[in-house]
Amino acid sequence: MLYDYVIVGTGIAGCSVSHFLNEKDKNAKVLMLDRNSDVAVGASGTAGAFLSPLLGKPNQFKDLISVSLKFSVDFYKNLAPQFIINKGVLRIPKDEEDKEKFFSYMQFCDFDYELKDGGAFFPIGSKVNSYEMCKILSKNSHVKFDYEVEHIKYIDNVWYINDEIKTKKLILTSGADVSLIGENYFNIRAVWGQRIDVETSTCIPFNYHKECSLSASEELDGNKDRYKVTIGATHHRFNCDKDVCNYCLRVPNLNNCTNFGYTKEVNNTDTKVLLKLANDIVKLKDVEVVNTKIGARASSVDYFPMVGELIDSKKTIDKFPYIMHGTHVQNNRFERHENLYVLNGVSGRGFVLSPYLAKNLVDFIVDKKELKNEIIVDRLFTRWVRSKKAKEYFAKKDK
């Protein structure tokens, strides 16, 4: 079978793309592939899936987060209101040093708020049930789990995946594992983290964010004196060779694996850290840790997401060799990997950014609507191609 679209990755980014593709083109044949055994197993399953405003002075990144937050909260409420908990979030300064800066940002707020308990309470603050939402988003696509994409190639206007699956258009939403992309300008950093779910007798009325995020309580079935609370997440960058190290991004169903680099020692330390940070916000009583998740968020070098059709760096440099010396070449003249698209780099705000970015990407693919400059991959290519690293890279390739 020749598919119209194949999406690699079934986290919140891939599932959002799936939803909008099926909505835009109801007759399209869409296939999703993932090395894991279900949706939202990697970083999306680790995420607390909190939806919260970004505080700060006006800039492009803050504007992107604000637009995405408004879009995504409304989107989730309309799509599956039973899987979004909209009880607001109380954001609190980290310490006295942070306090002055924190309250100076209030004049730039894009959302309604009220000053409360030493912080600012935002009614828009929400939390999504990540697994259930991803299941709904992906329900109209064919899905193939436990499937490792080893290689891709483009022949006669068709993408071949492992020489067996064929598609007209290929969309990579594989997060921190960018091995299929093979372009050095596409620089992703894996930010590992841990989230815990606890049961407690403490009832928490809304979400909190200080040095960690703490969710509003969810009442446990049949027990009005015990509640489920989510606490997340830690941040680690490990310096290692990703091809051989134990923190391997390609391990399927990582949370079921007993032999990986995110050791029990790190795991136990992170749990203690999260409990300490949570108790600094609200004193939790009768706590029992019932679930621990780890995963790697995908962060770009400039923190903006990466969306759109990939640039073929070799063909572009062969065509415009002077670009490496700083001569400007218009973006629309860059050579591209035809019909190969990405949505990546959403970092710790995947559930805020992904629906908005996926809608924009699908509009770009299907309707040729232009993407904003700050989110497309072009910005990273134009910086990289003039760098020393690019010159060294192509010097080695030419030998």
Q: What was the pLDDT predicted at 246?
A: 44
Neighbours of 108 (CB within 10 A): 12
Neighbours of 93 (CB within 10 A): 17
> Residue 32 falls within a domain, yes or no?
yes
Whose structure tokens read 């989107």? Answer: 75
15: left (phi over 0), alpha (psi -120 to 50) or beta: alpha
Q: Mind listing the pLDDT tens digit for each residue in 345-360? A: 999 999 999 999 999 9
Q: What was the pLDDT predicted at 244?
A: 41
309 in the same domain as 230: no
Q: What whole-number percentage of the chain has pLDDT above 90?
A: 78
140 in the same domain as 31: yes
143 in the same domain as 267: no
User: For the chain, how many structural domains are there in total?
Assistant: 2
Whether the ω angle into residue 233 lies within 30 degrees of 0, i.e. cis, is: yes
Reply yes or no on whether the pLDDT at 241 is more than 70: no
> Residue 182 falls within a domain, yes or no?
yes
Any idea what the CATH number is for the domain that residue 215 is in?
A: 3.30.9
- What number is the average pLDDT over the span 107-117? 95
Any idea what the CATH number is for the domain that residue 393 is in?
A: 3.50.50.60
320 in the same domain as 293: no
Q: Mind listing the pLDDT tens digit for each residue in 4-55? A: 999 999 999 999 999 999 999 999 999 999 999 999 998 898 888 999 999 9
CB-based contacts of 399, cutoff 8 Å, min separation 6: none
376 in the same domain as 313: yes
- What number is the average pLDDT over the span 193-221? 94
Alpha helices in the chain (DSSP H): 12-24, 43-46, 60-79, 96-104, 130-138, 264-279, 313-319, 350-367, 378-384, 388-398
Q: What was the pLDDT predicted at 263?
A: 67
Average pLDDT, the chain: 92
Q: What was the pLDDT predicted at 221?
A: 79
Reply yes or no on whether the pLDDT at 187 is more than 90: no
Reply yes or no on whether the pLDDT at 365 is more than 50: yes
> Residue 94 falls within a domain, yes or no?
no
Reply yes or no on whether the pLDDT at 247 is more than 80: no
Q: CA 173 to CA 163: how far, in whole Å?
A: 20
> Residue 125 falls within a domain, yes or no?
no
213: left (phi over 0), alpha (psi -120 to 50) or beta: beta
- What number is the average pLDDT over the span 274-290? 96
Question: Could you tell me the residue range of the domain that residue 206 belongs to?
Answer: 189-300
Reply yes or no on whether the pLDDT at 63 is more than 80: yes
Q: Mind listing the pLDDT tens digit for each residue in 225-239? A: 899 999 999 988 876
Give the domain-ending residue among 253, 273, 300.
300
Going by pLDDT thresholds of 50, 70 and 90, the confidence category of residue 268 is confident
